[in-house]
Structure 1
Amino acid sequence: MIDITEILVHWYAGRSQHDVAGSLGVARGTIRRYVEPAIAAGFVPGGPPVSEAEWAVLVKEWFPHLTDTRLRQVTWPEFDKHREYIAEQLRAGVTKATIHQRLRDERGVPGSVASLKRYIAANLAEDAVRAKVTVLRADPEPGLEAQIDYGLLGSWTDPRTGRSQRVWAFVMVLSHSRHMFVRPVVSMDQASWTASHVEAFAFFGGAPARLVPDNLKTGVDKPDLYDPKLNRSYAELAAHYGTLVDPARALKPKDKPRVERQMPYIRDSWWKGREFTSLVEMQASALHWCREVAGRRKHRGLDGRTPAEVFDQAEAGTLTPLPAAPFILAEWSRAKVAPDVHVKCGKVLYSVPWKLIGSHVDIRATATMVQIFHQGELVKTHVRQDKGRATDIADYPPEKIAFHAKTPTWCRRQAEETGPATTAIIAELLDGPALHRLRSAQAILNLADKHTDARLEAACRKAAAAGDPSYRTIRNILAAGLGGHRARPAHRRRRRPGVPARPRATVRRRHPVPREHRDDDRHDEHAPRRSSCRCPRRRAGHRLVTGTDTVALPRKDAIALAQLLRTLETVLDMDDVSVANALDAHFGFDGAVDVLFTTAGLHADTLHGLLTHPAGHPQKAETTR
């Protein structure tokens, strides 16, 4: 570009137009055109001194179209119509090429990209450069700060598996000395993030006072300029090493420039062109490179000194010493307690107290232990498992786990406390696949809730002697009061005041017709039909005869009654008539009804309707076919 002021200075100094043209490389016609306004204004070469600033003012007055570029632009008036839109796009960080494309496609503005750039430089210079302004920070004090970031290195094929994986570099740089730690990883999960910090602090021999990480989820749960919410695992790490976490602002990489600037250097100096057979070898190589290469390079920001030298001389002694106890990595998660009183941690279900169903709990999982917290209070601890579920039956309500609580071991222990006969029966039931007969064993031992241990032991002894040590037999013996001890009177019905006593009666089965009379009865059509079978359990149907009344006995009740009588006959080694008489003599009529109702399972309405008779007419009751 021609400098008009320089031409006028040379001319006014007394040089000819020919000499000025040859000296400045400008045509004589051009020199003449710029000198003519000065001659017309009365300036003569060799006149009074005129400074360059005065000539510049005169040039703007004589040649306004040359000094003010806006007067020469054809498309600028079109751009000026969208000045606010262009300024808004610049403040948002949009590039000039993209602004030109949007103006052309969305608003129909003509003009080239170069014209737009000239317009912005002349009219919106402040808006164009405002976002580019960088405030230089003073170097932090030794041991004060470390900046942390992840950077992508590239792809790596594992020779053992043939699988290609992306490799990332965890980088921590001490801001004062620029000494760095690099650890390649194939995963950026919570375990890798925490383990990398532990290795970095071990590499430096201490921890800095402040950590400046990025806002990734393994470090920061919720970014915020004034009150960021840290990840609980990361907060535990910071508390263990006595350091402060001060995350960089979201989308502001210039908040941690010392680590951001190192990523291209790491990729070029260490990663590219190298082959590794394993991740362990890769990490060992990175440590060697940090000490011998990166740590020994001369750094311009350190006035030519090396990071290792500055670290050893000024920063190593200012770091916070490492704690004596190693850090235990813990992963935190949050879950809702399901109706089955379990929460999920990883791939495993862990039980919690049943009262927390529907509540949200915090889960802290280490390599060996899982702790569950509710509102900050520890409510459950489990040993960590890899798969399946971990259930403590004590977390269920007691009534929901009665079967599970009374294990085979519990059954054997309770039987030993009762007596040897009970122990032998329980041992026989639990021999082999105990789970299939566990309920029978539990039922026998539960009889001790209604009867004394002595009565249960005697009943078990009689059942074993009879060769039928089943739950039903033992229950019937106890219900009939034949275990050698008087039955508990708790279930006896009490007569209300003013109600007459119920008449006594015995329940017996009719004697079979003697053999010598059977033929006569067979041909006597008026003779009552009698059964030749003495066992009630073989009859298809029964009736109960009370005096002159005959009432049909339901088949279910008849079978239950027959089973009871058969059991008593077997255990006592006597016939059914003797059994019936024994019941009547031992309990009385009311007691016999209670025994039948409780043991045989007969309906109370049926028994009272069938085994009773009109008041004042005590009679015997018998069953016939």
Structure 2
Amino acid sequence: MAKEILLCFLNGDSQQRIASSFKVSRNTVSRIVSAYMVQELEASDVSGLSGLTSEALHERLFPTETLAPQQVMPDYEYGHRELLTDWVTVKQLWEKYVMDCRESRNLYFRYTQFYKKYRDYVDTHRLTMHIRHKPDEKVMVDWAGKTIPFYNPVTGEVSKVYLFVSTLSFSMYCYAEVFSNMKEASWIAAHIHMMEYYGGSARILVSDNLKTGIISNRKHEDPIANKVCQELADHYGMALMRVLGGSETA
């Protein structure tokens, strides 16, 4: 548009006529013509720009505007393909995106916005992701949703107990144990008994957003485990991961 406006101006058309012809405001025409005057472009410069894009001409007319930081939209198509590979997380993609934006001196989305826009991209394109598991990679743990009635055969008393469940993601091999409560001591004991049963530990421990082990759990950010749970994971050489909205976050 700017190129055509300048060519009409150089051919002697008035700014009012140009505005009417292109159905733009006179301020738009005046801004482009004024930039042409300030930059002292030759007529040949304008007519010889037929091979350049409109962005290139804009850079010639408004060089200071091109220096202003621009907010860059992430390449979610590329990011979604990367997430299909092993050990790549949304947080890692965001960190690379931030690094690229900083190097090019452009603005970037904060992680919460980045994650939301990615979820919107997935929903809009109706994308699905097949999760491929490896042996010894992950063990999934959680308290079952409902309590279980426990009958004392001697006294006949009925009490409620809580069911701890775990599953090895590759083999779907399970372990379960009941506890009288869901306190931290029970949670730690359940993990110790689980790994004794399995005869070893996995690389990654995946749990839900449990108050038992998580002291800070902000939306779209990494969870912070309490000291005891972190020491348990460190002792067995496991990384902690949580489940968030159907996806896993390191």
User: Scaled by the length of structure 2, what TM-score is found?
Assistant: 0.45
TM-score (norm 1): 0.19
Relative contact order, CA 8 A, sep 6+: which one is greater?
2
Higher share of residues assigned helix: 1
